[in-house]
Structure 1
Amino acid sequence: MQDRAEETRKVVLQAAAHLFFERGYAATSISDISERSGRTSGAIYFHYTNKEQLALAVVQAHFASWPAMIAHHEATSEPTLEKLVRLSFTVARAFRDDVLVRAGARLWAERRTIPVEMPPPFVDWIATVEQMLARAHAEGDLAPEAEPSRDAPTLVAAFFGLHTVSDVLDDRKRIEDRLAHFWLLLLPGLQADPAPQALLAKVRRPHSTSA
């Protein structure tokens, strides 16, 4: 019984994510979600009190996807600066390919039209990037002029700004190429011994996680 309820929650959440991403919050109704998910409106209301709570659940799922992704990259034996650049490509692909991530981003952008408090964005990313830059500094891979506490907010702002522009221009189809250009611009100022092309060539190759 519990497995069936959990399956219903997942199916409804996925259906809602698709519709919120495609149409936005205001243009999506519980009836639409019911039709898309194959679940009755009653079943949806049993699991989610109203449309606002369902939108919040999508945004929370968006935020919940990041810790495991970060932990996966942190678990490798690569230098930390390399981990950071590789992580950025993983995040970029999630924003391009994962409907829960994309729907969560759209709903957060529409937060002023949704009468529910949304979790704050960017704060955790800034803290994560600052920690990774600090470790890269300790490993001797960061340029002397780089300052983790100063540079982390700028990196996060530039990264998500890149996503906004890429979304508008081509629905993020070229996000990986644009991200490579982003790092080619920034790595010479971050690396102790600048070699941006070599680092990008490494991180864009598939790799196996190693402890």
Structure 2
Amino acid sequence: MRTILQERARATRRSLLEAAACLFAQQGYASTSVNDISARSGRTSGSVYFHYASKEGIAQAVVREGFATWPSLVPRYDDPSVPPLERLVALSYDIARALAEDSLTRAGARLWAERHTINADLPDPFVLWTTAVTRLLAQARAGGCLATGVRPAAAARTLVRAFYGFCTLTEALEGSHALTVRLSDWWRLTLPALQRDPRDGHAPTRQAM
């Protein structure tokens, strides 16, 4: 009996989270009320407050779930037979697709952009993602594929911030459908700065991260 109740509670929380994510992604935090979330989910307002305490609490949960997509994708790209920079590019396309198509990811991104209007501390979504990119760049350096002078940790911070800004602005100007197309342009500009020049015959040097 206890297991059944726990499963029901998880299902209720999930339905509330997904309803809130759809609304936050479509109309933003300020324009979404608890009553809207209740109506969208088919649950009572009391159920919303029981599971999340406040609209701010729902926003925190949506951001946490939405950006959890990023690091969870990384294990798909651990194949050592594929060059690390190639894995990094492929991973970025998966994230761009999530930002374009997944309501939780889209809502998390919008809420983060609107964080100054939310009376709560939202989780920092970029720490795990930056760590994952740092690891891929470090692998590229160890394999002699990273350009001389590129430091994995510093480059990862820049890439993650630039990528997020690029996706946010592309969606604002052209819509989410343009993300994967424009990402090709972004990598044509960015990738040459990361790749080691094949004419450089020197072995990779050990640099501080």
- The sequence identity of aligned pairs, in percent, is 51
Aligned residues: 194
1:67 to 63, 67, 71: 71
SS at structure 2 position matched to 1:142: coil
Scaled by the length of structure 1, the TM-score of the pair is 0.85
Residue segments in structure 1 that go unaligned for 5+ positions in a row: 195-211
Instruction: Quote the Cα distance in structure 2 between the aligned partners of 1:121 and 1:14.
Output: 18
Contact 2:112–2:122, Cα closer than 8 Å, also in 1: yes
Please state if 1:157 is matched with 2:182: no
1:104 to 108, 114, 119: 108
Scaled by the length of structure 2, the TM-score of the pair is 0.86
Which residue does 1:50 correspond to in 2?
54
For 2:144, give the aligned amino acid. Answer: G
Distance 1:151 1:47, change over 3 A: same
The CA RMSD over aligned residues, in Å, is: 1.6
List aligned pairs for 1:104-183, cutoff 5 A.
104-183=108-187
Distance 1:67 1:150, change over 3 A: closer
- CA-to-partner distance for each residue in 1:81-137, whole Å, 9 max, x for gaps? 111111010111010011101101111111122111111233332222222111101
For 1:107, give the aligned amino acid. Answer: L
Instruction: Quote the Cα distance in structure 1 between the aligned partners of 2:104 and 2:74.
Output: 17
SS at structure 1 position matched to 2:196: coil
Instruction: Quote the Cα distance in structure 2 between the aligned partners of 1:180 and 1:10.
Output: 34
SS at structure 2 position matched to 1:173: helix
Residue segments in structure 2 that go unaligned for 5+ positions in a row: 199-209
Which residue does 1:190 correspond to in 2?
194
Runs (4 or more) in structure 1 with deviation over 4 Å come to none
Instruction: Quote the Cα distance in structure 1 between the aligned partners of 2:154 and 2:121.
Output: 29
Which residue does 1:25 correspond to in 2?
29
